[in-house]
Amino acid sequence: MRHGLVCVECGAPVEELVRDYGKGNLRLAICSACNSVADKYVEYETILLFLEVLLLKPQVYRHALYNLPAPVSTRTTLKLFVILVMLDMNVKAYLVDRDAGVTFRSESMYRSSEISTSGARIGQFSLHLVCLALVENVVYFVSVFAAIWLDPFRRKWREKLLNEGINAAWTRYASAVCISSFGKLFALLTVIWEFHWSFIHVMGALVVVSNVLALQLLLGEGNPARAKSLHVVAVVGFGLIARGAAQLVLYAMGNSVLFHVLV
């Protein structure tokens, strides 16, 4: 019997998600606290789970955080993080290409009179944007985790995460933030359609709300369907400030471009 399973509707602990009555007769378990199906998502395909994540449903986040058949591994979390970095790079490339939502230095390589369509030049641009996206995401992830670890509001967050050790705590945290950041996939629409660059702010707001939702469930800060935890909002806000500060520091140190977006 697995430990740590929860009802996706009310968050109460449950002993099982599927009950076996023998002879192949399986039924979804019922939560004794709310009398609802404990986890309807055990029957969902991956693509449907992904769509539910984008719709910001707390139930699917509980499923992803607690009820997956196997916990998200460190390797899988790293893969998710790499995907997020590449999505961020795509956003930055879009803004640079449109010359919108960015500030260039006068000597910026993006302002160079050299032919910018050569393979080497495009590779240089891409590597630069990937490095920027990597640094910003690392700063965001580390700063939010540090705020949770320091627990300035005395909410016993550290104890809640350390049930399975520090490595498991980091993996659970990072996977929660990665999964809740996949609203950035909307950035791929810029490859197909033309949008005003302010669309990136809408996408960023979606990601921030998703991050708050996932962290609130991970840290046990009440039911996000009723109200968002101001403590978790403050922690995510701190991460955004740290990310913005990282951009400013890099620009002050000579980075050739400053982006007017935080997510």
**In this predicted model, what pLDDT tens digit does every residue of 160-186 receive, in sequence order?**
888 767 888 899 999 999 999 988 888
Radius of gyration for the chain, computed over Cα atoms and rounded to the nearest angstrom? 21
Point out the least confidently predicted range of 75-79, 188-192, 207-211. Answer: 188-192
In one-letter notation, the amino acid at residue 110 is Y
Bigger pLDDT: 18 vs 70: 18
Residue 38 binned pLDDT confidence (cut-offs 50, 70, 90): very high
Coil, strand or helix: which one is 18?
strand
Distance CA 226, CA 217 (A): 12
Question: Is-contact 6 67, C-beta < 8 A?
Answer: yes
Distance CA 36, CA 49 (A): 19
pLDDT of residue 115: 45
What mean pLDDT do residues 132-138 have? 96
Highest mean pLDDT among 101-105, 172-176, 194-198: 172-176
Distance CA 218, CA 172 (A): 8
What mean pLDDT do residues 249-253 have? 94
pLDDT of residue 111: 67
pLDDT of residue 263: 77
Highest mean pLDDT among 157-166, 182-191, 211-220: 211-220
Point out the least confidently predicted range of 46-50, 111-115, 163-167. Answer: 111-115
pLDDT of residue 131: 95
Residue 119 binned pLDDT confidence (cut-offs 50, 70, 90): low
Structure tokens given for 21: 């009555």
DSSP string, 156-215: -HHHHHGGG-HHHHHHHHHHHHHHTTGGGGGGGGGGTS---TTHHHHHHHHHHHHHHHHH
Contacts of 205 (CB under 8 A, 6+ apart): 263
Rounded to the nearest integer, the mean pLDDT of the chain is: 88
What mean pLDDT do residues 74-87 have? 94
Give the number of residues written for the chain: 263
pLDDT surpasses 70 at 117: no
**In this predicted model, what pLDDT tens digit does every residue of 51-67 receive, in sequence order?**
899 889 999 999 999 99
Contacts of 55 (CB under 8 A, 6+ apart): none
Does pTM top 0.95 for this prediction? no
Question: Is-contact 114 121, C-beta < 8 A?
Answer: yes
What are the residue boundaries of the structural domains of the chain, listed by start? 70-259
